[in-house]
Amino acid sequence: MRNFLAIMSGIAALLGAAPALAAQPEPWQARFQPAATSIMEQITWFEQYTLWFIVPIVILVMVLLAWAVFRYRASANPTPSRTSHNTLIEVVWTVGPVVILLFLAVPSFQLLTAQYTPDEDPQLTVKATANQWNWDYEYQVDDPLYFNSAILAEDARAEAGKEDKSVYPRLLAVDNELVVPVDTTVRVLVTASDVIHAFAMPAFGIKVDAVPGRINETWFNARKEGLYYGQCSELCGKDHAFMPIAIRVVSNEQYENWAVAARDDLGTANKALMAAVEGDTKVAAAGN
């Protein structure tokens, strides 16, 4: 009986498995997406760290305002004080903020330095060129690979094999994802062909402007395989809301196979990669 239940559970997991999903926006989301890079982990820590200062300060200010309104209202204090200053209070509200700002500035500068200083030399460089309203990607390797990535049309889902909206959500799914290997430092050169855009991937902790005639640089090292979603984050025209970014992080072997096949037929290579990813996910879900 136990063996039968185990087999049935494995079959159910196999049939119900979906392609690996890493991070995407959720309805009514109030927190960050799960961190996929060390930089995003540091950003998440810093945000939580600052709350230890922000929350007490807000509470203190609210309490002081309420006390001042109640204690010094006209009916309770018909003759207001004419005290012009108080030395102790002046010292406290000068030194206090300076100390608080120092506690915020030191980790802030450390994080800023880390964002511009990869732990190692980039192993892969991709140029991302923003257009109204899609992205051109160029893999700067010995045999360069170029392709365009645009929002996935609803009537193209079936042909692309992307009908599952929990994995390929409306307004975020694209026809061709940017594919990169896991645990690899990737340098992204960002520019634009027309107006100012912005390349943003929340789970990676990156957001950089795409400016015509200028190349900005960022980097990431994704630690977890899966599909990540971002968007253009600079108002760039009427279809600004329809300019998603999708990055698929895969194993090194899957990436190498995809890169070779994509030079001949990008669509076929993408479908083969999706099948490989889905196959690995089903095996993991079945407990093999």
Q: Per residue in 226-266, pLDDT tens?
A: 999 999 999 999 999 999 999 999 999 999 999 999 999 99
Specify the higher pLDDT residue, 84 or 49. Answer: 49
Would you call 187 helix, strand, or coil by DSSP? Answer: strand
Among residues 197, 147, 155, the alpha carbon closest in space to that of 173 is found at 155
Query: What percent of the chain shows pLDDT beyond 90?
Result: 70
What's residue 132's pLDDT? 94
Q: Amino acid letter at 11?
A: I
User: By the 8 A CB rule, do 197 and 235 touch?
Assistant: no
Would you call 167 helix, strand, or coil by DSSP? Answer: coil
What's residue 77's pLDDT? 83
Q: What share of the chain is helix, strand, coil (3-state, %, to 5)?
A: 40, 20, 35
| Alpha-carbon separation of residue 123 from 134, 181, 253 (angstroms) | 25, 10, 15
What's residue 20's pLDDT? 55
Residue 122 has pLDDT above 80, yes or no: yes
Q: What is the pLDDT of residues 187-199, one digit of tens each?
A: 999 999 999 999 9
Q: Amino acid letter at 2?
A: R
Reported as a pLDDT band with limits 50, 70 and 90, residue 280 is low
Mean pLDDT score across all residues of the chain: 87
Burial bucket for residue 230 (CB in 10 Å: 0-12, 13-18, 19+): buried
DSSP conformation class of 82? -
HSE-up (13 A, CA, CB side) for residue 230 = 23
Reported as a pLDDT band with limits 50, 70 and 90, residue 74 is confident
Distance CA 67, CA 73 (A): 10
Helices marked H in 117-265 — which ranges?
157-160, 252-262
